[in-house]
Structures are given as structure tokens and as C-alpha cells.
Amino acid sequence: MGGQIRVDSDGALGWIVFDQPERRNAVSLEMWEALPGAIADLDANPDVRVIVLRGEGTEAFVAGADISQFEQNRLGDGAGIYEDATGAAFAALEHTNKPTVAMIHGFCVGGGMAIALSCDIRYCDNRARFTIPAAKLGIGYAAAGIEKLMQLVGPSVAKEIFFSAKLFDAEAALRWGLVNEVTAPETLADHVADMAGRMAQNAPLTQRAVKLIVRDLGKPLAHRATDLTDDAVQACMDSEDYREGIRAFMEKRPPEFRGV
């Protein structure tokens, strides 16, 4: 057993830390299995408005899945258990109602990129390096993961990333739309805290509706849940937060949103 998922909260910000620095925060099976529970804990905390994911230290966000466990967990009978664990982790990230932010220091590799792609927003430092090395390992990559990448960078760039398995830098990640912003290493944590803090001040129901709609718009037209997205929008319009937003604007003061 290696590494751990650490969970902490600081006011309106919830933190999930991938903690296995001796392996550049590579994610073990136990860490994959712990991730849904960590997200559920922060989801259930009414004080937490935004969830930030980061790696321990500054050398790596997540340097992929823990390859030392591959023969044990990704071959034969163990492979199904492993795929179920990673699938549950990604689903938990994608379906939390709260905004999720990946704070990417250093290496973001393989499973680390899959985790970052499952977040709503990604910020990195200018020393960040990215790659998906599946083609160097002979791993088959599930369609859901390829689709997430393709939606951000387009089909041609997604193919280049997979076919070449090359390491690319923060400038390329920004140019391709993989990350939202790039900062200096020493300012990344402050920038993420500032941006996440801004998000935390805004209306949770509006953010929830936007997340739901963006996710729904990524589906084929025939599979979209228009009734659910319409209900989410109407919930905003019917909310006390909407009334508070109007009052605060008229009174020239910051609103105090409660998510109701």
C-alpha cells in the first residue's frame, strides 16, 4: 500500500492532496478507491464552496498511476477492480455540484492528466510538463477519457498527444486550451487561492446549473436531459439567492449567497 489522499478545508475552499511524493504523487489503487469518499466529504460540507486538487510538494501534480502496481492490479483478474476504481473516481469528480480546480505544479502524467481533465478548471505553473504515455505501455485508453481530451484540444491535437506520447510544456497546454492560465511557480498557489476564493463568493445554484448544462451539452442531442437543465435554471430563478443578488446590487454591497 502506498500514498494517501489527504482532505482539508480552509474556509470556503476544500483541498484534496495526492500525497506520495517519493513516487511523484503517483496514484495507487488505494488512493483511487479513497478519492470518491474524499469528494463526498467535501460535497457534504456546507461551508466548502470550491474543491481544489493538488499534489504534495511542487515536483508533481500526479505523475500517473502507480506503475509498480500494474502487474498486480492491471493484468488478469485485478484489471476489472482497477478500472472500476478509476471510473468511480472520475465520476465522483465530474458529478460533484461544486466547482473543481486542478492546481498543477510540475509533472502531470497519464492518470494525472485524466484527473485534471475531470476537473472544471486547470491552472498550472510554467514548469509544468504533461504527457499521456499509454502508447509507450501498450495500454488501451477508454473512449470516455479520449473524449474529455478531445473536447478541450480537438481531434487532431488529441491524436498527436496519444500517438506521440511526447512530453509537452505549459505553453503548449495553454495554446491548446488544456489549461486556463499559466503562472510562475512561486505564484501558482496564491493565484489558485484567489480565483477559487472569487468562485466561492458567487451563487452555488448558478454554478451548479452551469456545470449541469455544460456536461449535458457535451452529449449527443438525442441524449440530452433538457428537462433537468431547465429545472436547474428555474431553481436559480426561484431561489432566495437570486433575491439576495438583486438586493445586494441595489444596495451596492457584496451578496451573501447561501445556496438556497
Model confidence pLDDT, tens digit, residues 238-255: 999 999 999 999 999 999
Name the grid cell of 47.
461551508
Selecting from 3.40.50.2300, 3.50.50.60, 3.30.470.10, 3.90.226.10, what CATH number does the domain 4-200 have?
3.90.226.10
Decide if pLDDT at 235 tops 70.
yes
Residue 232 in contact with residue 207, Cβ under 8 Å?
Answer: no
Beta bridge partners of 60: 107
Domain residue ranges of the chain, discontinuous segments joined by +: 4-200, 204-250
Residue 147: the pLDDT is: 93
Among candidates 68, 208, 173, 183, which has minimal Cα distance to 125? Answer: 183
Say yes or no to pLDDT of 219 above 90.
no
Q: Is residue 131 over pLDDT 90?
A: yes
Residue 176: the pLDDT is: 97
Q: Grade residue 71 by pLDDT with cuts at 50, 70 and 90.
A: low
In tens, the pLDDT along 132-182 reads 999 998 988 889 899 999 999 999 999 999 999 999 999 999 999 999 999
Of 72 and 176, more confident? 176
pLDDT for 139 = 87
Quote the CA–CA distance of 212 and 1 in Å, as a whole number.
36
Q: What is the pTM of this model?
A: 0.93
Maximum mean pLDDT: which of 1-5, 176-180, 218-222: 176-180
The mean pLDDT of 179-195, rounded to a whole number, is 98
Predicted pLDDT of residue 82 = 86
> Hey, what's the cell of 94?
465530474
Dump the DSSP string for the chain. Answer: ---EEEEEEETTEEEEEEE-GGGTTPBPHHHHHHHHHHHHHHHH-TT--EEEEEESSSSEEEESB-GGGHHHHSSTTHHHHHHHHHHHHHHHHHH-SS-EEEEE-SEEETHHHHHHHTSSEEEEETT-EEE--HHHHT----HHHHHHHHHHH-HHHHHHHHHH---EEHHHHHHHTS-SEEE-GGGHHHHHHHHHHHHHTS-HHHHHHHHHHHHHHTS-GGG--HHHHHHHHHHHHTSHHHHHHHHHHHTTS-------
